[in-house]
Amino acid sequence: MVFHCKSGRRSADAGSKACGFSNGAAVYTLSGGIEGWKSAGLPTIAGAKGSSLSVLQQTQITIGLATLAGALLGAFVSPWFLVVPAFFGAGLTMAGLTGTCGLATVLATMPWNKAHGASCGVSCASAAKQAAGA
């Protein structure tokens, strides 16, 4: 298994967690992430891109707007709207305790976060052979 992310920090964390579940399979992380790979001049295959905002940014925007709206509605309309910021506060607490964010998981499945277009049909193995010049 090979884990990678933009800078390498999140993939290193995921790779260390995966070691406990790999059943003896080799686990690798891309040091420096895909940006490190690119800066080393190594080849990449550009694919269709989904949203220009990362899922993390989308999660932060959603929580921020919902919390702000809930607080304002709670202050000026009805105190029952304070349930909204309380709900998102509880969600952030659970995300911090478990390392899994339910909202981010849901946002990742949204159509705008899916790459569009057909697959190029290149597998990891064949891409590695191409990179090696085989």
As given in the structure block, the two tokens for residue 62 are 């959603």
Contacts of 29 (CB under 8 A, 6+ apart): 2, 3, 4, 8, 11, 12, 14, 15
5 is catalytic: yes
The active-site residue, picked from 5, 19, 101, 120, is 5
The answer to whether 109 and 94 are in contact (CB under 8 A) is no
Residue 26 confidence (pLDDT): 85
- What is the band of 132 on the pLDDT scale with cuts at 50, 70, 90? very low
Condensed to tens digits (0 to 9), the pLDDT of residues 75-118 reads 999 999 999 999 999 999 999 999 899 999 999 999 988 865 44
